Protein backbone atom coordinates (compact mmCIF):
# COMPACT_ATOMS: atom_id res chain seq x y z
CA UNK A 1 0.00 0.00 0.00
CA UNK A 2 1.13 3.56 -0.72
CA UNK A 3 0.31 6.05 2.03
CA UNK A 4 0.81 9.79 1.67
CA UNK A 5 1.57 12.27 4.42
CA UNK A 6 0.97 16.00 3.94
CA UNK A 7 1.93 18.67 6.46
CA UNK A 8 2.00 22.45 6.52
CA UNK A 9 3.57 24.58 9.22
CA UNK A 10 0.83 27.14 9.85
CA UNK A 11 -2.95 27.16 9.83
CA UNK A 12 -2.92 29.78 7.05
CA UNK A 13 -1.12 27.45 4.64
CA UNK A 14 -3.14 25.13 2.44
CA UNK A 15 -2.75 21.35 2.17
CA UNK A 16 -4.69 20.86 -1.06
CA UNK A 17 -1.73 21.09 -3.44
CA UNK A 18 0.32 18.57 -1.43
CA UNK A 19 -2.64 16.17 -1.25
CA UNK A 20 -3.20 16.42 -5.00
CA UNK A 21 0.48 15.75 -5.75
CA UNK A 22 0.55 12.79 -3.34
CA UNK A 23 -2.52 11.25 -5.00
CA UNK A 24 -0.98 11.77 -8.45
CA UNK A 25 2.10 9.91 -7.16
CA UNK A 26 -0.08 6.92 -6.30
CA UNK A 27 -1.01 7.46 -2.65
CA UNK A 28 -4.07 5.35 -1.92
CA UNK A 29 -4.66 7.11 1.39
CA UNK A 30 -3.41 10.53 2.52
CA UNK A 31 -3.01 11.68 6.10
CA UNK A 32 -2.72 15.41 6.72
CA UNK A 33 -2.05 17.87 9.51
CA UNK A 34 -1.12 21.46 10.26
CA UNK A 35 1.77 21.46 12.71
CA UNK A 36 5.03 23.32 12.74
CA UNK A 37 8.11 21.23 12.03
CA UNK A 38 9.37 22.10 15.49
CA UNK A 39 6.36 20.44 17.13
CA UNK A 40 7.18 17.01 18.50
CA UNK A 41 3.57 15.82 18.71
CA UNK A 42 2.14 15.01 15.29
CA UNK A 43 -0.95 12.81 15.82
CA UNK A 44 -1.62 12.13 12.12
CA UNK A 45 1.99 11.21 11.46
CA UNK A 46 1.86 8.82 14.42
CA UNK A 47 -1.20 7.16 12.81
CA UNK A 48 0.65 6.85 9.50
CA UNK A 49 3.66 5.37 11.28
CA UNK A 50 1.46 2.73 12.97
CA UNK A 51 -0.51 1.93 9.80
CA UNK A 52 2.50 1.28 7.55
CA UNK A 53 3.42 -2.39 7.11
CA UNK A 54 6.19 -4.41 5.49
CA UNK A 55 6.18 -3.72 1.74
CA UNK A 56 4.30 -0.41 2.02
CA UNK A 57 5.61 2.93 0.76
CA UNK A 58 5.38 6.25 2.58
CA UNK A 59 5.08 9.19 0.18
CA UNK A 60 5.85 12.81 1.12
CA UNK A 61 6.32 15.79 -1.17
CA UNK A 62 9.55 17.06 0.41
CA UNK A 63 12.04 15.96 3.01
CA UNK A 64 11.11 18.75 5.44
CA UNK A 65 7.52 17.46 5.58
CA UNK A 66 8.85 14.34 7.28
CA UNK A 67 10.85 15.68 10.24
CA UNK A 68 12.43 18.70 11.96
CA UNK A 69 16.13 18.00 11.38
CA UNK A 70 18.61 15.59 9.84
CA UNK A 71 18.99 13.46 12.94
CA UNK A 72 15.25 12.98 13.34
CA UNK A 73 14.62 12.28 9.66
CA UNK A 74 17.41 9.68 9.64
CA UNK A 75 15.90 8.00 12.72
CA UNK A 76 12.42 7.93 11.16
CA UNK A 77 13.62 6.59 7.82
CA UNK A 78 15.88 3.97 9.44
CA UNK A 79 12.96 2.82 11.57
CA UNK A 80 10.82 2.52 8.43
CA UNK A 81 13.60 0.63 6.61
CA UNK A 82 13.89 -1.77 9.55
CA UNK A 83 10.18 -2.55 9.10
CA UNK A 84 10.55 -3.13 5.34
CA UNK A 85 8.91 0.17 4.35
CA UNK A 86 10.15 2.29 1.43
CA UNK A 87 10.14 6.08 1.46
CA UNK A 88 9.26 8.08 -1.64
CA UNK A 89 10.22 11.75 -1.29
CA UNK A 90 8.82 13.26 -4.45
CA UNK A 91 11.48 15.90 -4.99
CA UNK A 92 14.28 13.34 -4.34
CA UNK A 93 12.98 9.96 -5.44
CA UNK A 94 12.24 6.51 -4.08
CA UNK A 95 14.61 5.51 -1.31
CA UNK A 96 14.88 1.95 -0.14
CA UNK A 97 16.98 0.03 2.33
CA UNK A 98 19.98 -0.55 0.10
CA UNK A 99 23.48 0.82 0.67
CA UNK A 100 23.04 3.20 -2.27
CA UNK A 101 19.59 4.29 -1.09
CA UNK A 102 20.88 5.00 2.42
CA UNK A 103 23.89 6.93 1.13
CA UNK A 104 21.76 9.12 -1.14
CA UNK A 105 19.26 9.72 1.62
CA UNK A 106 21.92 10.66 4.19
CA UNK A 107 23.50 13.14 1.77
CA UNK A 108 20.17 14.77 0.91
CA UNK A 109 19.22 14.96 4.60
CA UNK A 110 22.49 16.70 5.42
CA UNK A 111 21.96 19.23 2.62
CA UNK A 112 18.37 19.87 3.73
CA UNK A 113 19.57 20.53 7.28
CA UNK A 114 22.34 22.78 5.96
CA UNK A 115 19.81 24.77 3.92
CA UNK A 116 17.52 25.22 6.96
CA UNK A 117 20.46 26.33 9.09
CA UNK A 118 21.49 28.88 6.45
CA UNK A 119 17.96 30.30 6.37
CA UNK A 120 17.91 30.65 10.17
CA UNK A 121 21.34 32.31 10.13
CA UNK A 122 20.36 34.76 7.36
CA UNK A 123 17.10 35.60 9.14
CA UNK A 124 18.94 36.28 12.41
CA UNK A 125 21.53 38.43 10.61
CA UNK A 126 18.73 40.42 8.99
CA UNK A 127 17.00 40.97 12.32
CA UNK A 128 20.26 42.07 13.97
CA UNK A 129 20.95 44.52 11.11
CA UNK A 130 17.41 45.92 11.37
CA UNK A 131 17.71 46.32 15.15
CA UNK A 132 20.91 48.35 14.70
CA UNK A 133 19.79 50.48 11.74
CA UNK A 134 16.00 50.84 12.04
CA UNK A 135 14.75 52.45 15.26
CA UNK A 136 11.16 51.42 14.46
CA UNK A 137 12.05 47.72 13.98
CA UNK A 138 9.92 45.31 16.00
CA UNK A 139 10.09 41.53 15.99
CA UNK A 140 6.95 39.47 15.57
CA UNK A 141 3.73 40.14 13.78
CA UNK A 142 2.73 43.73 13.19
CA UNK A 143 -0.02 44.86 15.53
CA UNK A 144 -3.47 44.56 14.01
CA UNK A 145 -4.87 47.70 15.62
CA UNK A 146 -3.37 51.18 15.66
CA UNK A 147 -2.64 53.12 18.82
CA UNK A 148 -5.61 55.39 18.00
CA UNK A 149 -7.97 52.41 17.76
CA UNK A 150 -6.71 51.04 21.07
CA UNK A 151 -6.96 54.48 22.68
CA UNK A 152 -10.57 54.80 21.49
CA UNK A 153 -11.40 51.34 22.92
CA UNK A 154 -9.61 52.24 26.17
CA UNK A 155 -11.71 55.41 26.47
CA UNK A 156 -14.85 53.34 25.96
CA UNK A 157 -13.72 51.10 28.82
CA UNK A 158 -13.12 54.16 30.99
CA UNK A 159 -16.71 55.24 30.22
CA UNK A 160 -18.01 51.97 31.69
CA UNK A 161 -18.44 49.71 28.65
CA UNK A 162 -17.69 46.01 29.13
CA UNK A 163 -14.98 44.19 27.19
CA UNK A 164 -17.68 42.32 25.25
CA UNK A 165 -19.46 45.56 24.28
CA UNK A 166 -16.16 47.07 23.14
CA UNK A 167 -15.39 43.93 21.12
CA UNK A 168 -18.74 44.22 19.31
CA UNK A 169 -18.25 47.92 18.65
CA UNK A 170 -14.57 47.88 17.57
CA UNK A 171 -13.75 44.30 16.55
CA UNK A 172 -10.88 44.22 19.05
CA UNK A 173 -10.85 40.88 20.88
CA UNK A 174 -11.13 40.78 24.65
CA UNK A 175 -7.64 39.28 24.98
CA UNK A 176 -6.15 42.07 22.84
CA UNK A 177 -8.05 44.70 24.83
CA UNK A 178 -6.73 43.41 28.13
CA UNK A 179 -3.16 43.19 26.84
CA UNK A 180 -3.12 46.57 25.12
CA UNK A 181 -5.08 48.41 27.85
CA UNK A 182 -2.26 47.68 30.30
CA UNK A 183 0.09 49.53 27.94
CA UNK A 184 -2.44 52.37 27.47
CA UNK A 185 -2.90 52.66 31.24
CA UNK A 186 0.89 52.82 31.76
CA UNK A 187 1.19 55.51 29.09
CA UNK A 188 -1.55 57.52 30.79
CA UNK A 189 0.28 57.24 34.13
CA UNK A 190 3.54 58.36 32.48
CA UNK A 191 1.81 61.47 31.06
CA UNK A 192 0.60 62.44 34.56
CA UNK A 193 4.19 62.66 35.82
**pLDDT digit string (tens) for 134-170?**
888 877 777 788 888 888 998 899 899 999 999 998 9
Give helix 174-192 / helix 163-170 axis angle, nearest 10°.
100
The helix or strand, by DSSP H or E, that contains position 94, with its residue range, turns out to be: strand 93-95
Pairing of strands 29-34, 93-95: unpaired
Interatomic CA distance for residues 19 and 130, integer angstroms:
38
What's the pTM?
Answer: 0.58
d(CA 13, CA 81): 31
The DSSP letter of residue 5 is E
Q: Is the pLDDT of residue 116 over 90?
A: no
Integer Cα distance of 70 and 186 in angstroms: 47
Is the pLDDT score of 191 beyond 80? Answer: no
Class of residue 102 by CB neighbours under 10 A (exposed 0-12, middle 13-18, buried 19+):
middle
Q: Which residues are catalytic?
A: 9
pLDDT in tens, 53-93: 999 999 999 888 887 777 788 888 889 999 999 999 998 88
**Proportion of the chain above pLDDT 70, given as a percent:** 92
Using DSSP bridges, classify how beta strands 86-89 and 57-60 pair: parallel, antiparallel or unpaired.
parallel
Rounded distance, CA 43 to CA 49, Å?
10
Average pLDDT of the chain is 85
Residue ranges per domain, the chain? 2-98, 147-192
3-state secondary structure of 35: coil
Cβ atoms of 8 and 18 closer than 8 Å? yes
CA distance to 15, 35, 63, per residue, from 11 (Å): 10, 8, 20
The CATH number given to 2-98 is 3.40.50.1390
Amino acid sequence: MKIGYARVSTFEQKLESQIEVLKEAGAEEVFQEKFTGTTVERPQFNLVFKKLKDGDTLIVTKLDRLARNTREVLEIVQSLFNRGIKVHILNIGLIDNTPTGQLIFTIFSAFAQFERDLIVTRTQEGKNFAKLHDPSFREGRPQKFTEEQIQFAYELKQQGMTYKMIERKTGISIATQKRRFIKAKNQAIDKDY
